[in-house]
Amino acid sequence: MKNIYPTLSLFIILAAAMQPAIAQTPSDAIMMNQRESCFGLIYENSWFDEYWEGTYLRTNGTIATVKRNTITPMIAIGAFDRLNLIVAAPYVQTESTEPNGGKFAGAKGFQDLSLALKGEVLKKQAGNGELALLTTAGFSTPMTNYLSDYRPYSIGFGANELSLRGILQYKLNNGFYARAAVAYLWRGQTKAERDYYYNNGSFYSAWMDVPSCWNYHAVAGIWMLGNVLKLEANYMGLASTSGDDIRPYNAAQPTNKVSFGQAGVLAQCYLNKPKGLGGLAYYSQALYGRNTGKSSQFGVGLTYQFRI
């Protein structure tokens, strides 16, 4: 359900969040200069009490409301002026609210280590603003032996992911900006702890194909108060290119075809004192989906920029 996209959603949110000089993410348009670095620590709380079984939105007393807490330390490093490295390592904890009919234990642990390299392809003045084109190549892999085949409590999808993203931003001189990004996420296979499963037919293996997907986002925002406060609205979409539907009243599994769209808002500030310190807060809500929770989430974070 929602838990299959933690890293992704986090990056999307971070992408929206860490816009100014203080930070950058795989999907934003920011580049840091060589030897600049930014450390971020973000807490996210996510929950859903309805989910899409295929495209049918339902509740389920067995799992009641599924809650998810994520703490993500991350760092962005300016390797070169036009090539930056971003590393993140989320810790995730999940559980159901009481009362619930299933009495399932939640799960917790470090999820996936993600590495991303971002390169600036183009940056030029155009009209009353600046046009930037960037590309990001990312790779993530599970850090621990967490069980992906334990929906909806599993902390991740348990497979390697290779992503390639294109980012286009236009920023007006008066602080307004708009950004669009498109990515393809190749996802590998995850290993379950059973060697038979049903995916519109029998599969005699512990290996499950995790569907690859397209990921889109669109952002509109403004910098205010002399680049101290940023406010923004964002929309993120994800669409798997294969996979099966959750069967009636049955548990989800990593092979499911997951799609969703979510809208959000974000505020971020950058302080001059103490120098390098910043903060952010965001909220987003799923609007439509398939084989995923109708999640809401909010996050708060601190960022700190420094030179190495």
Partner 1 sequence: MKHHITISILKVCIGLCALFIVSSCEKDIPVQADYTDYVYSSMDEDGGSWKPILLTGSSQIAVPAPADVSSDAYQNELAALKTATSNLTGSQMEAVEYWSNNPILRWNEIALELVAKYNLIPGPNADGTYTLPDPANPGNIPHFPFAHPPYAVRALSYLSVAQFDGLITSWFYKFTYNRPAPGQVDASITPAYVDNSLPSYPADGAVVAAASRDILTAMFPLEKDYLAAKAEEQMASLQWAGINVESDVTAGAAIGEEVAKAALARAATDGMKKAQCPKPISDSLKTAAFNRFGWQWDNIEVPPRPVGLTPLFGQVKMWNVPTVEEVRPPVPPAPGTAEYEENVKELKHYADDMTEEWRAIANFWQDGLGTYTPPGHWNRIAKEYVLKYQLNPLRTARLFAYLNMAMMDAGISCWDAKYYYHYPRPINQIPGYKTIAGTPNFPSYTSGHSVFSAAAAEVLTYVFPEEGAKFRDWALEAAISRVYGGIHWRFDAEVGTAQGINVANYTINVAKADGAD
Cα–Cα distance for residue pair 16/27, rounded to 1 Å: 8
How remote is the C-alpha of 294 from its chain's centroid?
A: 15
Q: Does 239 bind partner 1 (CB under 8 A)?
A: no
121: helix, strand or coil: strand
CB of 255 to partner 1, least distance (A): 10
With beta carbons less than 8 A apart as the criterion, state whether 230 and 223 touch. Answer: yes
Which structure tokens are listed for 118?
Answer: 């971002």
Which structure tokens are listed for 210?
Answer: 């995790």
Question: Out of 170, 207, 214, 283, which residue is the one contacting partner 1 (CB under 8 A)?
Answer: 207
Question: Out of 33, 43, 97, 119, which residue is the one contacting partner 1 (CB under 8 A)?
Answer: 119
- How many chain residues are in contact with partner 1, going by CB under 8 A? 53
CB of 176 to partner 1, least distance (A): 28
Q: Does 198 bind partner 1 (CB under 8 A)?
A: yes
Strand 189-191 and strand 213-224: the pairing is unpaired
Convert residues 45-74 into a mask of x (bound to partner 1 by CB under 8 A) and - (unbound): ---------------xxx-x----------
Cα–Cα distance for residue pair 222/133, rounded to 1 Å: 19
Of 103 and 273, CB closest to partner 1? 103
Contacting partner 1 within 123-152 (CB under 8 A): 135, 137, 139, 145, 147, 149-150
User: Which residue do the tokens 């495209």 mark?
Assistant: 55
Strand 296-307 and strand 36-48: the pairing is antiparallel
Chain residues in the site for partner 1 (CB under 8 A): 60-62, 64, 80-83, 99-106, 117, 119-120, 135, 137, 139, 145, 147, 149-150, 159-160, 162, 164, 186, 188-189, 192-198, 201-205, 207-209, 247-251
